[in-house]
Amino acid sequence: MNSDTSSKLFPVSWDQFHRDSKALAWRLADKGSWSAIIAVTRGGLVPAAIVARELNVRVIETVCLSSYSTENLRGEIKVLKKISENLLKDGNIHFGSVLCIDDLVDTGATMEVVKKMIPDAHVATVYAKPEGLDNVDTYITEVSQDTWIYFPWDTELQFVPPINPEGV
């Protein structure tokens, strides 16, 4: 599925994404004490930064994966950068206290790859689709599988003419 074939479009503003990411932090605050965050790039970078600030988590790592082509079509999951061996071997990091954060869980295929790398991590996303729910522990908003989310970094402000063109 891509933005051209999705039957529903869900544009998210920076303000809304910040509010939803902060709501994710509130929900996670009651679930434990977190020692580290692994952000799934690129979409997980912004919510990971917001959650890290809100929960005072200072250790932030990335795992870099690619699952979409330039045509926004889902393809094979490619691991571009693994989780740092230093983090995985750090005696101060308890894997049950590690958050893995992404913007969205769609089919769950990306999170399946990440969960193999760090199986005890708590997976949190801002948005979730039904096919991916088995691969996420905490999320804020569920959207239908046929919805394409336009994140704020995918869009820009532009003039939209009124319905009545004489109103310009």
Q: Is residue 24 part of a domain?
A: yes
User: Is 12:60 a contact under the CB 8 Å cutoff?
Assistant: no
Given the residues 15, 20, 30, 102, the one annotated as active site: 102
> Measuring CA to CA, how many Å separate 77 from each of 49, 100, 112?
24, 17, 10
Instruction: Say which amino acid occupies 101.
Output: I
Number of domains in the chain: 1
Query: What is the reported pLDDT for 32?
Result: 87
Q: In the annotation, is 102 catalytic?
A: yes
Q: From the centroid of its chain, how far is CA 124?
A: 8
Q: From the centroid of its chain, how far is CA 31?
A: 18
Q: Is residue 155 part of a domain?
A: no
Tens digit of pLDDT for each residue in 147-168? 999 999 999 888 878 888 776 6
Per-residue tokens: 119: 């199986």
Residue 55: which domain range? 12-143
Query: What is the reported pLDDT for 4?
Result: 58
Q: Is residue 42 part of a domain?
A: yes
Q: Is residue 153 part of a domain?
A: no
* The residue count for the chain: 168
* Cβ contacts of 143-146, under 8 Å, gap ≥ 24: 143/8, 143/10, 144/8, 145/1, 146/1, 146/6, 146/7, 146/8
Helices (H) and strands (E) in the chain, counts: 4, 8
Q: Is residue 164 part of a domain?
A: no
Query: What is the reported pLDDT for 74?
Result: 63
Q: Is residue 89 part of a domain?
A: yes
Given the residues 90, 106, 134, 154, the one annotated as active site: 106
Q: Is residue 90 part of a domain?
A: yes
- What residue ranges of the chain have pLDDT lower than 50? none
Whichever domain contains 131, its CATH number is 3.40.50.2020
Beta strand residue intervals within the chain, DSSP E:
8-11, 36-41, 60-68, 74-81, 98-105, 122-128, 138-142, 147-150
Task: Write down the residue that tokens 């995918």 correspond to.
Answer: 154
Q: Is residue 157 part of a domain?
A: no
Given the residues 90, 103, 134, 146, the one annotated as active site: 103
Query: What is the reported pLDDT for 70?
Result: 59
- HSE of 164, CA atoms in CB hemisphere, 13 A: 2
